[in-house]
Chains A and B, each alone.
Chain A
């Protein structure tokens, strides 16, 4: 008997390709460079921006995220473990002061997702959350 799906793990809870496993992340300097391209090297504080994502992704290929940064002019989303680190940039005009957006992103593996908001006064704020991408355990 052979499995019908190639490169598929078939443990209890197993459905991800092996390449999707792993716990490392891109080099810190690559991420810092990418963030600097957005912030221009400005200091980034926390607060005023929120990022909501599942603790464990149900499907790493389509992970729902929501950002909320009232009063922000732009929010960039970074996935530190993806080949392309900046995954989205949202721009908010004066008629959209709520600064809320939802989308789905692809995550290559377990990693931190970071949202950085550029506020109306030109300062920067960030929030991050850890999202696990797994082949699954064996729920009791």
Chain B
């Protein structure tokens, strides 16, 4: 069954490569309230090889709400390109009907109303149903986990990743790559990775002392499927020791390692690979650049930046798929591999609508058993969301505005700083806020808060430095997060300016006065990568603040003025 828009896709594809991606005729069905599991899973098997991609689950085992960003700025060559297209522009680009479930799953506006209509997303028991259905269709499908799996929830923190290892083992992936997993610390990473019943792939994880490939990880794994040899190369997040605390895993060095990547592609081709897949935690813009520089990659399964795109992006003959985060999507990629090359593809990004897809009973039981010891603690109600709480956005989101408020209050500070991470589910207005909800947006192994003094000059240098890690026109110099969130401080950022000259008009919101470079300010924050920070953990700080408020209302804020977009 190839629809009209599938033919359009073929027309756009590179000359020798026949393919299609996207979604079926779901929006009309949804509008008629007839959307069923069968519709979501409807897929006519194509070719001879199937890949299944999940990534950036961040330990979200049960259904949640997750709002995609309304502000997702791309710079340099990526300006105006997906995934840096949001809202109505995004829907127009992909022909998504307003009010459809694809609108709900893939874009941001009217989120609260659509969330009430379509319900929660994700849940690894629903993911299991989808994976099982694909395997029923194509028994030897290759399931690949892009990493950021053993991090991000109350139970994952308490069990140091064991809950997710147990649940993912039941899902039976064929390979995985890594990022936040390293924040469990070297000893725990070694323990968990050594025991994995599937391949741990990372061509760019090296021994820091000798600058040689680490023995703990393999660079690639070959799979024989449908009469073809499929090589899957792993790429961990290249800047893990810079974006996260290197002192927790000092034995490892990372980096892009482009030369080794090309050598490996050549090596697996020489060894008979008919198709080369990169399981990547680079982030989308880095993957797009790498696709143009490393020759011989057929498919890049892209993770890290949490983008969800309904169709693959083509760079030359390389397909790049972005499969979302937090358990919200499963990507199915069917490939026609013949005569030593990829002849065609059919892909689908399947949204895990929790109320439409039936949970897999065995997986539900396994998840429940991981959560049972902690239920009383997790389910304690702390307050109520008086407005939508969400995280994603290039500069701020209501969850981080709330976290900054809590930091200012607890530490009696003038300015608060909160990391621009992209994980963490959303809460709808009227929803109770439980302790689990707070941990879902704060859980990490270095969650201590701090209070310190910084001069205006230091603050400015800091914002400039982080801004260049987000908005450097060259993706290889970006780290794939969002801008550090500020509380009590407004500023203007000009994205067209060179490094060191983007931030101006820094203003202390409490007084309305310009930040004085020479004056010292009381600054509170959390998630420092420095060793030895021992303030109260962020989840306690946020919980007390929410208890004091009862019902938390966080109106939209515009303390960051963005120009030069």
Question: Across the interface, do B419 and A10 meet the contact criterion of CB distance under 8 Å?
Answer: no
Q: Which of B237, B477, B482 contacts A132 (CB 8 A)?
A: B477
- Inter-chain CA distance A105–B450, complex, in Å, is 32
Q: Which of B237, B450, B462, B480 contacts A1 (CB 8 A)?
A: B450
Interface residue? B499 (CB, 8 A):
yes
* A residues apposed to B, CB below 8 Å: 1-5, 8-15, 18, 21-24, 52, 54-56, 58-59, 64, 102, 110, 130, 132, 134-140
- Inter-chain CA distance A54–B238, complex, in Å, is 10
Question: Across the interface, do A140 and B481 meet the contact criterion of CB distance under 8 Å?
Answer: yes
Question: Across the interface, do A13 and B469 meet the contact criterion of CB distance under 8 Å?
Answer: yes
- Inter-chain CA distance A31–B452, complex, in Å, is 38
- Inter-chain CA distance A138–B481, complex, in Å, is 5
Report A-chain residues with C-beta under 8 Å of the C-beta of B528. Answer: 10-12, 14
Report A-chain residues with C-beta under 8 Å of the C-beta of B259. Answer: 52
CB<8 Å pairs between A and B, sample of 8: A13-B479, A52-B259, A58-B242, A64-B253, A136-B243, A136-B479, A138-B243, A140-B423
Question: Across the interface, do B461 and A21 meet the contact criterion of CB distance under 8 Å?
Answer: yes
Question: Across the interface, do B532 and A134 meet the contact criterion of CB distance under 8 Å?
Answer: no
Query: What is the predominant secondary structure among interface residues of chain A facing chain B?
Result: loop
Question: Across the interface, do A138 and B420 meet the contact criterion of CB distance under 8 Å?
Answer: yes
Question: Across the interface, do A4 and B477 meet the contact criterion of CB distance under 8 Å?
Answer: no
Question: Across the interface, do B481 and A137 meet the contact criterion of CB distance under 8 Å?
Answer: yes
Given A18-B461, A54-B255, A102-B211 in contact, is the A59-B246 Cβ separation under 8 Å? yes
Instruction: Give the contacts of B218-272 with A (CB-CB under 8 A).
Output: 237-244, 246, 253-256, 259
* B residues apposed to A, CB below 8 Å: 56, 179, 211, 237-244, 246, 253-256, 259, 283, 304-306, 411, 417-423, 450-452, 454, 458, 461-462, 464-466, 468-470, 472, 476-482, 484, 498-500, 525-535
- Inter-chain CA distance A52–B532, complex, in Å, is 34
Query: Which residue of B is nearest A10, CB measured?
Result: B528
Question: Across the interface, do A134 and B465 meet the contact criterion of CB distance under 8 Å?
Answer: yes
Given A1-B535, A10-B450, A140-B283 in contact, is the A135-B481 Cβ separation under 8 Å? no
Given A12-B528, A54-B255, A55-B255 in contact, is the A140-B239 Cβ separation under 8 Å? no
Report A-chain residues with C-beta under 8 Å of the C-beta of B534. Answer: 1, 4
Question: Across the interface, do A55 and B477 meet the contact criterion of CB distance under 8 Å?
Answer: yes
Report A-chain residues with C-beta under 8 Å of the C-beta of B242. Answer: 13, 56, 58, 134, 136-137, 139
- Inter-chain CA distance A137–B500, complex, in Å, is 15
- Looking at the assembled complex, report how far the CB atom of A89 sits from the nearest CB atom of chain B, in whole angstroms: 21
- Looking at the assembled complex, report how far the CB atom of A107 sits from the nearest CB atom of chain B, in whole angstroms: 14
Q: Which of B211, B421, B451, B461 contacts A22 (CB 8 A)?
A: B461
- Not counting A12-B419, A137-B470, a sample of 20 additional A-B residue pairs whose C-beta atoms are within 8 angstroms of each other reads A1-B451, A3-B450, A10-B530, A12-B243, A12-B420, A12-B526, A12-B529, A14-B529, A21-B465, A64-B253, A130-B477, A136-B479, A136-B529, A137-B479, A138-B421, A138-B527, A140-B56, A140-B304, A140-B421, A140-B422
